[in-house]
Each structure stands twice: as C-alpha cells, then as structure tokens.
A and B are shown apart, each in its own frame.
Chain A
Amino acid sequence: MIFVAVGTQLPFDRLIAAVDSWAETAATQVVAQIGTGGEYVPQHMQATATLPAAKFAQICSEAEVVVSHAGMGIIMLAREKGVPLIVMPRRQELGEIRNQHQLATVRHFGALDGIYVAQDTAELAVLLANYARLVASRVASQPAAELLARLRSFIDEEE
C-alpha cells in the first residue's frame, strides 16, 4: 500500500492529481489524505480529507512508501516508522503555500537516506514507477544530547 498525504493546512492538488493518475495503473493500493479546499477529486485512490493522528501514524507505518509534501511532520514520522518517503515541495508561485520554506526543507533534508525528492511531477512519476526499490533510512536518529541537556538545565534552574 502507498500512502499519499498533504497535511491539514492546505490542499495540494498537483501532488494528488499526479499520484492519482499513476494509481490508475499501479499494482498496489493507494490511500490518500488530501486535505480540505482542493478542487481535484481523486478517481483511483481511497481518499479522505483528514485523518485522526493515531490513524495517520498507523497507515504511515503500514505503507510500503509514503508520498507527501515537504512538511517536517511527515518527514520525521516516516523516519520514525522506517518507511521510505518521496517528497515533492509545495511552491509559492503556484499558490500552494505562503512561503518558500519547503524548498529550503528539501535542500536541507533531501540528502538524508530514506528521503527521495521529486522537484516536479515528472520526477515524481519516475520515483513512483520504481517505488518498490526505494529503501527506508536505517538509523533512528535521536534528538541532540546537548539540546536535551540545555533544556533540562534551563528548566531546573532556580529563579
């Protein structure tokens, strides 16, 4: 099963439409979380606007591959669950988001293992065609020890 998710804030029709057209001929089932406010209606995927957090995490962990926008939440969740992730950044000039920070996210995290970046729908199609060969990150990364220690010592300080 492939899980495509766009988060709760804004729709992302360009991604949903591209995955939907691939799903028509795909050999696997596709589950989609498409957000609210989009115009495109998926034809070949099992789609819902939003999902409860627990259900979202469960589908994510059961998926063979997760496809999403370049949101930090889904990037961290996919790594936690050990699932390969394809991300396509939202673009400001297409009205998909209010700033360009997803492009920055892709620049900084696209190089991590287990994350595959599609800059546009053409690159996405190539990745989807080869989805069975994508592998997840093998390291479960931890928060920096210095960060945890700094927070603890700040909280423990006496006023």
Chain B
Amino acid sequence: MDVIQLSVVVVSFNTRGILRDCLNSVYAHKPSFSFEVIVVDNASLDGSAEMVRREFPQVKLIRNTANRGFAPANNQGFAQARGRYWLMLNSDTLVRRDVLERSVEYMHAHKEVGMFGCRVLNKDKTMQETCFMWPSLLNLALVSSGLARVFPKSEFLNRERMRSWKRDSEREVEVITGCYLLIRAEYAEKVGWLDEDFFFYGEETDWCRRFREAGYKVMFAPVGEIIHLGGASGEAGHYSRKIMLGQALIRLQRKHNGLLPALLAWCLLVLESVIKSVGFGAAGIFKKRFRPVCRKYFGVLTHALQLWPKAGKRRRKRVLAVSSPGGHWVQLRRLEPVFKCYDTWYASTREDYRPEVVGSPFLLVPDVSRWQRWYIPIAFGRILIVLLRLRPDVVFSTGALPGLLAVIAGRIVGARCVWLDSIANSEELSMSGRYAGRFVQLWLTQWEHLAAEEGAVSGPEYEGKVL
C-alpha cells in the first residue's frame, strides 16, 4: 500500500450543498499520489453527514453529537490523519486544477517550511486577500480606527492586510488564513495542534505564530489557486460575530504578549465601538443603510465585558490509560490517536513499557491477578493513592484486574470511566469486564454479538475493533 502523502481535513456544519461541491472539486482535481479526505461533521442538522456517507463512501467521516467548535473538530480530524501533510480546507471552497499536487510538491522541496498557503480567489475570480500580518496593537489600531478603510491606497495604513501585494509572488508571511492551510504533520507534532481555547477565529493565527516561534517558516506561494465562497468581510452582520472576532483578537494578545497588551486591545475595541456606534448612528438619521452598522457596534458595546476571553475554560482533559501488560497493553496503545489529543498518562505493571510512550508520562501500578486474592486490597489501595494524586478526568482501561481496580478507584475520585473489553474475549465478556460494567459510564466490547440489544437494560456497546 502506498504511503499516504496528504490528508485533507474538512469541518462541516450545515453546509451540505457547498460541502458536496467542495468534495467533488477535491476528487475532480485529485493529486497523483495517495491521499485521503476526512470530514468532521459538527452535528449538522441539514443531513450533511448522511450526504457524505451516501455520496462519498471513500471519505473518512467523523460525526460529532454536538457542535464542538472549529479548532476541536479540526484536531479530531488530525487525530485520524495518516498523511505526511495535513490540509485544513474550509467546506466553502473549490480546489482548482493541480493545486493539491503543486502544494505538496512545494512542501516536499522546502523542508524548512511548516505551513503553506496558496492563492485564493473570490467567487467572481477576483483575488481574495489571504495571508496577513500578526494582529499587533498597531495593526489593530489602524484597522479599528477605520484609517485603513479611509485610505485604501496607503501601504502603511494597510500593512496588516498587505494591500499592495497582489499575492502573485512567493513570500514568507506571519499568518495564513485557515480556508486552505497545508501543514507538515511532523512539525505539528512538535509544535502541538490547534489551541482549543479558541472557539471561532484566531486559531490559525495562533498556530502560525507557534510554528514561527518554533523556527518553521510560514510561506505563501502562488503555485495554484482555490475559490473561497465566503470570506468577503462587510460592515453589516450580527454583532455576535464581531464579539467572537474581538474575543479572539484579545485572546491572541493575552496568550502571546501578556495582560497589558490584552487590556489595551480591549480598550481599542471598546473605543472603536463607541465611535462607530455614535458615528453611524448620526449618519443613520439621514441614511437608512447605516442603521444596521450602528446596531452592530452598539451591540458590541453592550456586551463589552464579554469581549474579554474566559480563561482556561477548555483546559485539556487529563486521561489515565491503564492496562495489564501483554495483549491488553498492545490494544490500549492502538488507541494512541485518541490519547495524544489529551493530557494522557499511561499506566501498566511493567517498567519496560515506559520508553514506549515517549512524550507521555508513565506510571507503574502494582501487578495483581485474581489468583492472588489477598493482594487485591493492597493493590487497590496503591492504585487509589495514584489516582488521588493524578485526579484524572477520565480513566480508560482495556483490562484486566489492575484496570478494573483503576476504574473503581476512578469513580471514587470523581473521574468518568471507560472500559474497552479485550478483543481476545470473543465468546463472552472477560470477568473483569463484567464487573467493570457496573462502574463505568462507557462500556464497550469489540464484538458485535456481545453488545447489548437495542433497549436492553444493561450491556456493553459495540463501536468497532482496535484492529
């Protein structure tokens, strides 16, 4: 089998029609090398997921039961991606000609480049401005003061959007827009994935900055183009969008420059809203079309405190993944694509497993089997102490007895627990697995015929196997 070069990750949310066009454009202009497409559906209500399953069976589809936000959904896609390069592609885009192939070739030839963006066109084939400067306080002031709009020809006033550059030359940039962002997976593993504290806007700006700080280049090159249907920014629109954007801008300042710059950014945005709601309000007396703009800025003003980003609400969950050695451990390790998305601690009974989990902490837990009954309470006590220190959000186990003790102890310390019964237990659940069912919130078997019938009082769920 070919090594997959490219993983295209598309997040979908109620955009069935344009998502279909987007996927069609990818397959119509597919590269010559091996690639995959992953769609993460954020609980669309318009049948987007069903459409993908029906019309694009070759797409790897991940369905969320709730809208988890843009950054978390992309990270879910990356967790499944097997390619050397990941492409973050918006669902409202159309790829053209050989842009996928050329983009990957570019990355191939430039090892120092961590992120890459191509030319982006509007629906009418005019150039769309993508790639910006970092939204520093100066840039923020120039944009929010309206000076940039009043003097569109001035290079200095329009420095953030780099207006004078026609996006026709190769250039190192500070920010690439996430509608088409190609990432070298190897570097992303070092830098880390998208910061899930950003709900909407700002996540790719933050990511680009982290790549640059790690010493990787963020490059634009006109090797090809895509069409981005959205992305046209206007003055009208609902204030909630403006608030999300403001939150993102302040969060970026808070994260990278500190508290004072963040406060200044907040002041700037509030000042902008005061001036613009008064200005457009006055203009609205004479001209009706200014009234919605006034309403938008007034809306921002009345929600000024919400502009300040909430701290650490979405802190990374801590997961304890624990199992016996041997087959249980091998199965547990197969789920690494899930565990690497969290602050995961591995635990088993053999010290020589420690080097296997490079990058994640490893805990040694006491070995015990049900043939040594006298030792069970002692082992349980030791596992409970480990859990009291660690305070995991989730305890996960494939078995056997040490895993069972860990999920019971997990419940005592308030963790939510998962049991995935070993694939070796194909005729009936393991004994530990049967007991574990009483304690865990998610009880899984790897054999469909062992799963509880629909509507049954109790029994494990089946979602597939680890191999």
Contacts and interface: CB of A to CB of B under 8 A. Distances in A.
Contact of B326 (A7, A141, A145): A7
A138 B466 CA distance: 17
B327 A156 contact: no
Contacts of A52: 352
A65 B350 CA distance: 26
Contacts of B425: 101, 104
A82 to B, nearest CB: 11
Given A138-B1, A155-B394, A73 B329 contact: yes
B130 interface: no
A149 B461 CA distance: 14
A87 B80 CA distance: 31
Contacts of A150: 442, 444, 461, 463
Q: Is the interface of A mostly helix, strand, loop or mixed?
A: helix
Interface residues of A, number: 41
Interface of B: 1, 60-65, 68, 72, 76, 79-80, 82, 317, 319, 325-331, 334-335, 337-338, 341-342, 350, 352-353, 355-356, 393-394, 396, 416, 418, 420, 422-427, 441-442, 444, 461, 463-467
Contact of A145 (B60, B72, B424): B60
B424 A154 contact: no
B466 A159 contact: no
B317 A54 contact: no
Contact of A105 (B80, B424, B466): B424
B81 to A, nearest CB: 11
Given A104-B426, A154-B418, A146 B334 contact: no
A152 B463 contact: no
Contact of B467 (A9, A141, A155): A141
A29 B158 CA distance: 73
B63 A143 contact: no
Contact of B356 (A54, A104, A105, A108): A54
A107 to B, nearest CB: 7
Given A72-B422, A139-B1, A144 B465 contact: yes
B416 A148 contact: no
A152 B341 contact: yes
B429 to A, nearest CB: 11
Contact of B1 (A74, A104, A140, A154): A140
A17 B256 CA distance: 65
A104 B427 contact: yes
Contacts of A154: 394, 416, 418, 441-442
Nearest to A151: B338
A147 B356 contact: no
B352 A153 contact: no
6 contacts: A72-B328, A75-B327, A143-B465, A145-B62, A147-B464, A151-B338
Nearest to A157: B416
Contacts of B424: 71-72, 101-102, 104-105
Contacts of A76: 327, 330-331, 334, 466-467
Contact of B464 (A138, A144, A153): A144
A143 B329 contact: no
A149 B463 CA distance: 9
